[in-house]
């Protein structure tokens, strides 16, 4: 399949020089992931992590027997024919059914209709068309993946260990999952014994997907609530209604735009306000997991936001979790802190 129209203009790796040791880099990346690939309770992982594995702009993820290849505009410097050869070999080696390609442009707000449509086409780049959704396994949980539903397929793999940790911490707790996306943290919390969860997201279709993820794990929805809301609006309502939580997950995007109310969310400008709002809903002894993939926000700033969220409310930083091994080599990719409040 040729590169989409406009790809050259968008800067997708068309200077046709090659990285000579591409095969070696891929071999090395797979060797690092061998223990994860060998696990029977896990079949979704990142096989190649861009610059950390030696090729900026190239990310390869495996979701059961489907590969998702992300190509990042302006960073990838590999010719498309060379890349296709590499991925075809990987596809044969891992016996996958299909490879779908996602082209990431710098400014997602300016994505054309044609470009967006490329990501919802059922025909893969390589291999044969697969069903619109498949189930992956992650440490005893199942998640629904949609390989051609848009840019994202339904699960952020860098949070695999965080989801497991939230599961471990959730027994008997009331859990709030803000920016919930497809509710991965809520599912992990519920499987771990949470007495109730609240999942908050701006998009109905993600919350519906989240409910289906509960169903995929045979988890009853009775004690679980789904709020179609901006997180700050949810905070106000929850305070008014006297809702309280014992564990809160805060994993916001770097930027987002909501229509009702019209609001632009910029994490860099609102991190402290976001953390304070969460802590106001935490009962004494409550825990907060704060994560971000905003490279501009330092761990020091995150710690300061947690510790000084509410004057005179003591906070202890309990853990500074590292990224899973398939994300190693790029510690700034995503940062997580876990804190407890008196
Ligand atoms: C990076 S994803 C979060 C990933 C999620 N925490 C997980 O572990 O899968 C960002 C999500 O935040 C939602 N979102 C963006 N802005 C929001 C806002 N102001 N309030 C609530 N949700 C928002 C988006 O719809 C999207 O589902």
Question: Is residue 13 domain-resident?
Answer: no
225 shares its domain with 333: yes
Bridge partners of 319, per DSSP, are 338
* Distance separating alpha carbons of residues 194 and 110, to the nearest angstrom: 40
Condensed to tens digits (0 to 9), the pLDDT of residues 84-138 reads 999 999 999 999 999 999 998 877 666 677 777 889 999 999 999 999 999 999 9
* Distance separating alpha carbons of residues 185 and 141, to the nearest angstrom: 11
Condensed to tens digits (0 to 9), the pLDDT of residues 277-336 reads 999 999 999 999 999 999 999 999 999 999 999 999 999 999 999 999 999 999 999 999
Q: Is-above-0.85 flag for pTM?
A: yes
* Distance separating alpha carbons of residues 165 and 42, to the nearest angstrom: 16
107 shares its domain with 181: no
Please give the number of the atom of ligand 1 that sits closest to the Cα of 258: 19
- Compute φ and ψ for 43, nearest 5 degrees: -135, 25
> Of 104, 137, 170, which one is at a domain's C-terminal end?
137
Domain housing 239: 156-341
Q: Which of 160, 227, 253 to mutate to test the pocket of ligand 1 (most atoms within 8 A of CB)?
A: 253
Residues with CB under 6 A from ligand 1: 156, 159, 179, 181, 184-185, 200-203, 206, 230-231, 251, 253, 256, 258, 265
Number of separate domains in the chain: 2
Q: Which of 138, 162, 166, 181 to mutate to test the pocket of ligand 1 (most atoms within 8 A of CB)?
A: 181
Question: Is residue 149 domain-resident?
Answer: no
- Band of residue 36 on the pLDDT scale cut at 50, 70, 90: very high
Q: List, in order, residues 6 or more apart from 20 with CB less than 8 Å away.
A: none
Condensed to tens digits (0 to 9), the pLDDT of residues 232-286 reads 999 999 999 999 999 999 999 999 998 877 899 999 999 999 999 999 999 999 9
Query: In the predicted model, what is the mean pLDDT of the chain?
Result: 93
- Band of residue 77 on the pLDDT scale cut at 50, 70, 90: confident
CATH code of 310's domain: 3.40.50.150
Enter the tokens of residue 218: 């045979």
Which pLDDT belongs to residue 118? Answer: 82
126 shares its domain with 175: no
Condensed to tens digits (0 to 9), the pLDDT of residues 185-239 reads 999 999 999 999 999 999 999 999 999 999 999 999 999 999 999 999 999 999 9
Angle at which helices 184-191 and 204-216 pack, to 10 degrees? 30
């Amino acid at each position: 399949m040729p590169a989409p129209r406009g790809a050259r203009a968008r800067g997708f790796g068309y200077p046709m020089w090659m990285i000579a040791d591409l095969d070696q880099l891929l071999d090395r990346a797979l060797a690092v992931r061998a223990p994860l690939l060998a696990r029977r309770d896990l079949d979704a992982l990142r096989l190649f992590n861009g610059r950390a594995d030696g090729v900026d702009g190239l990310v390869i993820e495996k979701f059961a027997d489907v590969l998702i290849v992300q190509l990042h505009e302006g960073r990838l410097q590999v010719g498309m024919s060379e890349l296709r050869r590499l991925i075809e070999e990987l596809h044969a080696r891992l016996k996958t059914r299909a490879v779908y390609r996602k082209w990431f442009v710098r400014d997602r707000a300016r994505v054309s209709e044609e470009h967006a449509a490329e990501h919802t086409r059922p025909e893969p780049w390589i291999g044969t068309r697969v069903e619109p959704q498949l189930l992956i396994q992650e440490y005893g949980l199942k998640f629904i993946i949609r390989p051609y539903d848009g840019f994202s397929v339904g699960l952020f793999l860098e949070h695999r260990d965080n989801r497991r940790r939230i599961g471990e911490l959730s027994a008997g707790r009331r859990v709030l999952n803000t920016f919930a996306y497809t509710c991965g943290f809520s599912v992990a919390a519920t499987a771990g014994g949470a007495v109730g969860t609240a999942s908050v997201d701006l998009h109905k279709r993600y919350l519906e997907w989240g409910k289906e993820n509960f169903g995929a794990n045979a988890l009853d929805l009775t004690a679980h609530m789904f709020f179609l809301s901006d997180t700050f609006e949810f905070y106000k309502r929850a305070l008014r209604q006297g809702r309280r939580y014992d564990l809160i997950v805060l994993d916001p995007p770097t930027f987002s735009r909501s229509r009702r109310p019209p609001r632009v969310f910029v994490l860099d400008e609102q991190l402290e306000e976001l953390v304070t709002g969460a802590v106001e809903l935490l009962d004494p002894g409550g825990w907060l997991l704060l994560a971000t993939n905003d490279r501009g926000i330092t761990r020091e700033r995150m710690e300061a936001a947690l510790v000084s969220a509410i004057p005179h409310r003591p906070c202890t930083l309990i853990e500074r979790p590292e990224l899973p091994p398939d994300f190693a080599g790029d510690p700034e990719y995503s940062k997580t802190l876990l804190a407890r409040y008196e």
